[in-house]
Amino acid sequence: MNLLRDLILILLPALLTGTAVFFLIRHFYRIENEKLASINQVERLKLVTPVRLQAYERMVLLLERMMPTQLIIRNMTPGALATDLQSALVNNIRQEFEHNLSQQLYISSNAWELIKNARETIISSINAVADKLEPGAPATDMAQLLFQGEMDNNNATLYKALEYLKNEARLLF
């Protein structure tokens, strides 16, 4: 009986001490893992934030370059026909869009959908203006109608996408 009592008197404090040490070490490792996760998160943000910001910049630039006034300035050639200008404008929009396809990884899905909608709206308005003109009409007539459409704010989806992108980029900071 004395042996059992002595064994309990020795093992009980050892078990209590061992249990306390186990929980202290587990708590210490949990805190260290949280610190490492936090440090990793900060490092990831340091790497990703500039890339995301650049993606927003490129998407804003894409939308700005898709504005009819900008397109016409870049693609207008003297003596061209409206069909030539139409083709040049649509091709330019498609090339710009394809060049920036990879940027969709860094912006929200909503922003990307707005950009795609703006692209389709601009292409549709260019094609609609071209359909209004007679065959063989000069490119200046088409340019004039596109300028008029821009003044009448026919590019609402483009401006909506642009504002959405700007607001979303501001939320990063």
- 77-126 pLDDT, tens digit per residue, is 888 899 999 999 999 999 999 999 999 999 999 999 999 999 999 999 99
| Tokens standing for residue 101 | 């396809």
> 123-152 burial, b if ≥16 CB within 10 A, otherwise e?
bebbeebbeebeeebbbebbbebbeebbee
pTM, full prediction: 0.74
Q: What confidence tens digit (pLDDT) does each residue in 132-158 have? A: 988 889 989 999 988 887 777 767 889
Per domain, the residue ranges of the chain are: 49-170
Instruction: Please give the pLDDT value at position 148.
Output: 85
